Structure 1
Amino acid sequence: MEQRTRVYICSSPNKRTGTTTTARLLTDYFIFNGRNFAGFDTDPQDADYGARFPQAVTIVDVAKVQGQVAMFDRLLVHDETPKIVDVSHRSYDEFWETIDQIGFMDEARAVSIQPIVLFHVDASGAALAAAQALAGRWPDLNMVVVTNKGAAPFGRGALEILAQFPSPRRLVIGALDPSTRAYFEAADFSLPNFLRTRPSDMSIVIRIGLTAWVAPIFTQFRAFETDVPFGVGVSRGLLEVGVAALLALSR
């Protein structure tokens, strides 16, 4: 089977839905596994993703032709190097309009590029309408509905709301308690380094909590690479193996 180059598009029309967190976690996943990747941050006003990985992430302004060329030409290179795009709420409309105008999806298919849209949702009608618009424009779009429970909690009625989105595939990112979240969000914290060597000054509670949080997320990411339809099809065995392997690192 021919290998495909995957392009992960972390996208949402709304702010505070966790797109940057997902882009960061994908990046950490590839670094932890010794994989090359290329990242793009489309929010030059608040380039948190680009600032955290300055050597590997290009900050682009998709409202300018120069920014479009710098990113989209690279995304259409079939080199089996994963690409990660953090599409902020500020750049959402411009990004998807450009995707449509240049025929990106058709071009990608022709050169064995596999776009995977990680669509971040909240309880708003705007998120649902935007997801339906993308699915209507590209009926075969590989969309995964992402819920970040820490960034955009749904509360009651979550299942009913999520059932309306045009894809059954799910990626769930759990919420962290305040202390663990503060550790994770620190500018000098490296998740791959943490997973390889536990810091001697870290609380065991934070260490176990952070490892238990990231283990199922990384397992779901691994399903991308094996083409397992996760969210609706990740086997319990695969999940348990991934969780056990990472939990072992926290001991």
Structure 2
Amino acid sequence: MSRQKAIYIVCSPRQRVGKTLIARALTEFILADGRAAIAFDVNPNNAALYGFLPRNTARADIETTRGQMALFDELIAEDEVVKVIDLGDQAFDKFFRLLRQIGLAEEARRRGIDVVTLFIGDPDPRSADSYAQTHRAIPQLSLVPVHNEFIANMQDYMESFPSPVPGERPVRFLVLSPFLKSIVDRPGFSFDDYLDRHTGARTELHEWIERVFVEFRELELRLLLRELKTSIALR
């Protein structure tokens, strides 16, 4: 069962941890699954996601009241479009402060929309503090830790990013070799198009994309299981 109503917030208070790459891959995974998706690029100084997916990305401004209202209205619109937010580190604190102030998570839940925070971990203690604070401040969020293998060995820091659900593993984002990264960073590169067009001999990039898509599929299944357990517990 695919998720038709969800808001995914890809975030970290730190730079260069792979937020835009993960948001790109997640958006393309949803589109490849035959669902509608729109990504929001919330990066004040660098709209990288918009550059890669201009047809499926809107630039969002949370520095003005008008921009804030436009973004949050889009997020909780009564539609069947999955929303993906690439939240820049400079906008991290303000975004979650606004989200808490306007009660977006509560309103989204009322409309049957799950708000999922994909929080990318890293060894800096400030990230772990922000992770814990986000969970305490907005417990209505479905918080999911993400391990990007490019950053460091998972055993070196991921214990500081425990899943709110005991025994649930983090999303693992596989490391890209420098050569493969140079390919996916080319303007106009599409993960889904690569799978469709390169149907001959399988490559390392095929394996990487498919593994990442499997990670997202398994994440959706775990989130659905969370909802089912919560629903049963409330009866």
- If the length of structure 1 is used for normalisation, what is the TM-score? 0.81
The 3-state SS of whatever aligns with 2:141 is coil
**Residues in 2 aligned to 1:222 and 1:48: alpha-carbon distance in whole angstroms:** 25
Aligned to 1:220: 215
- Which residue in 2 is equivalent to 1:37? 37
Residue in structure 2 matching 1:161, options 133, 149, 157: 157
| Alignment-derived partner of residue 203 in structure 2 | 208
Q: What's the secondary structure of 1:90's corresponding residue? A: helix
What is the CA deviation profile of residues 65-121 of structure 1, one whole-angstrom value per residue up to 9, with x for unaligned ones?
A: 122111110111232211000001011011001001101111111111100100011
Tell me which residue corresponds to 2:23: 23
Aligned length: 220
Matches within 5 A, 1:163-178: 163-167=159-163, 168-178=168-178
Q: Once superposed, which parts of structure 1, at least 4 consecutive aligned residues long, lie more than 4 Å away?
A: 227-230
SS where residue 82 of structure 1 aligns?
Answer: strand
Listed one character per residue, the Cα deviations across residues 9-47 of structure 1 (whole Å, up to 9, x for unaligned) are 001100011111111001111232332111100013100
Q: Per the alignment, do residues 229 and 36 of structure 1 end up closer, same or farther by CA in structure 2, a change over 3 Å counting? A: closer
Q: Is the 8 A contact 2:53 2:188 kept in 1?
A: no
Separation of aligned partners in 1, 2:34 and 2:159? 36
Q: Is the 8 A contact 2:12 2:19 kept in 1?
A: yes
Mapped to 1, the partners of 2:143 and 2:77 lie a distance apart of 21
On the 8 A contact 1:50/1:57 being kept in 2, the answer is: yes
1:97 pairs with 2:97 = yes
2:112 paired with 1:112? yes
**What is the alpha-carbon root mean square deviation over aligned residues?**
2.2
Unaligned runs of 5+ in 2: 226-235
Gaps of 5+ in 1: 231-251
SS for the counterpart of 1:187 is coil
Aligned residue for 1:75?
75
Conserved 8 A contact 1:4-1:78: no
Alpha-carbon shift at residue 51 of structure 1 (Å): 1.6
1:142 matched to 2:138? The reply is: no
Identity %: 29
Cα distance in 1 for partners of 2:37, 2:120 equals 21
Which moves more between the two structures, 161-170 or 115-124?
161-170
